[in-house]
Structures are given as C-alpha cells and as structure tokens.
Chains A and B, each alone.
Chain A
C-alpha cells in the first residue's frame, strides 16, 4: 500500500464496468480538488478508468454484466491518496496476475500509425501518469499504483503563463 501523507479515500466496487462511471466521477472531482487543471484531471480520470477496465477484462476475464453466485461476488478496491504535491491511485484486485514481462510497450505514435488499439489502455496509463508500478503480493493480490505529481503541473502552468 502506498505510504503517503494526506487525504486517503478507499472505494470498493463490484467487478463490473457499469460502476466505472462512478469511479471516474469521484476521481475527477478529487483530482480537481487536489489542484489539477481540467486536462490534467482528465488524464488521471482516464488512466484510472483504463486500469479498472483492464482488471475487469483481463484479470477477471469479464465482458458484459457479470453474474457471480451469491456470496462469491468479486470486487476491485481503489485507494486514492492526495496531498498538495501529488495524487496517487492504487488499484487492488485478486484476479489473474498480469505478466508485465510479456508486455511490450508500444508508443502512441505506433498505435496511430498502425491504427491498432490493442494495448492502448496501458499505453494511455503510462503516458498520462508520472509513475506506474505493478506488483503482486505474497497473498496473490495485484496492486497497480499510479502517481501524478502536482508540483510539476503548477510549474508548467506558470511557465506557460509567462510565455503567454
């Protein structure tokens, strides 16, 4: 779990894409409160949405609305931490582990050149967030941690303003 001083919010949703809209609304609201500007907040929203969608689709192999037997429902937990310097989001699941060694990072440019969307979600996560880490703990729980720093954004915005 991320060690980060600041506000911490935990959100648990069923493994169902139907709930991604709720997650996006919360994430964008918190990102804006945290101080990220429109497009930067939108990047965090999209990265978290893509990460959760990947868990549902590739970790739990679910397409469409899931139907779990009673008492065997599966969940995704989203831990959100933020302070004046950064926003960190950790997606936790107990589905199948993603083998990062088999993941070949393809640039956005190459995706567009080949008009190929396969792997675009992960590409978006890496492009939009400053730091991305994936681990599977000793209990078989997968943790994808994504961090975006706000300091750099403020500095960029100030630089932009001075250029204008």
Chain B
C-alpha cells in the first residue's frame, strides 16, 4: 500500500496509530505500507518520533510504488 501524503498538513497520534496498525496488518500478510510526498513538517514530526525507522518514506508516489516492484523482482 502506498499512501500519498501530499495534501497532509498535520498528523495526530490517532493518524499515526492508523499508519502503525495498517503496517502491522499488512506485514502479517507479507505486505507493507510506504509513505510518499511528505512535507518537511510531517517528515520532521515522523522523524522526531522515530516513525521513519519503522515506516518507509519516499519522495514521490512513483518511487514508493517502484520499491514494491523491486522487492517482487528480488
């Protein structure tokens, strides 16, 4: 799953919780969640809280989608 966060200006703990529980569910089934197009502010908050260590982030939606393709090829 790729989440394009381009239009996101704020994220609360509830939003972070949704990302975490979604990642948890997807990983059980060998899937994953990738975040794309994060603003500097949102990336900063995620980084501060340590979320960038457990959730992959990409500069663009295309890069995020390609990361799945590369995983399948590997």
Which positions in A face B, CB cutoff 8 Å? Answer: 21, 24, 38-39, 42-43, 45-46, 49-50, 53, 108-109, 112, 115-118, 120-121, 124, 127
Contacts and interface: CB of A to CB of B under 8 A. Distances in A.
B23 to A, nearest CB: 6
Interface residues of B, number: 20
B29 interface: no
Interface stretch (B6-14, B57-65, B66-74): B6-14
Contacts, number: 51
Contact of B20 (A46, A53, A117): A117
B50 A117 contact: no
Interface string B27-62: 000000000000001001100111101100000000
B48 A39 contact: yes
Given A42-B41, A53-B13, 4 more contacts: A50-B13, A115-B20, A117-B20, A118-B17
Contact of A115 (B10, B14, B41, B54): B54
A12 B17 CA distance: 28
A28 to B, nearest CB: 10
B12 A112 contact: no
